[in-house]
Amino acid sequence: MKYILMLILGTFFGIVLYKSEAASWFRIYEMFHFESFHMYGIMGSAMFLGVIGVQVIKRRKMKDLYGEVIKIQNKDKTVVRYLIGGTLFGLGWGLAGSCPGPIYVLIGSGESSMLIVLVSALLGTLLYGVLRKHLPH
Partner 1 sequence: MNEHNFILDPWPWYVSGPLIALVMLSFLFLGKFFGMSSYLRTICAIGGAGRIADLFRFNWKAELWGIFALVGVVCGGYIGANYLSTSPAIDLNSKTVERLELAGFESPGAAYVPAEIFSIENAQTPKGLLFLSIAGLLIGFGTRYAGGCTSGHAISGLSNLQRPSLIAVIGFFIGGIIATHFILPLVL
Q: Which of residues 66-85 bind partner 1 (CB under 8 A)?
A: 66, 68, 70, 72-79, 81-85
DSSP string, 57-69: HHHTT-B-TTSPB
Distance in Å, CB of 56 to partner 1, minimum: 9
Report in angstroms the alpha-carbon separations of 66 from 57, 72, 85, 100, 137. 15, 16, 34, 28, 35
Integer Cα distance of 9 and 2 in angstroms: 11
d(CA 42, CA 51): 14
Rounded least distance, CB 84 to partner 1, Å: 7
Distance in Å, CB of 31 to partner 1, minimum: 8
Compute the least distance from the CB of residue 39 to partner 1, in Å. Answer: 8
Site residues (CB under 8 A) for partner 1, limited to 84-123: 84-101, 103-114, 116-123
Enumerate residues 7-36 that contact partner 1 by CB under 8 A: 7-33, 35-36
Number of residues that bind partner 1 (CB under 8 A): 116
Binding residues among 32-61 for partner 1 as defined by CB under 8 A: 32-33, 35-51, 53-54, 57
CB atoms within 10 A of CB 28: 21
> 39 and 31 in contact (C-beta within 8 Å)?
yes
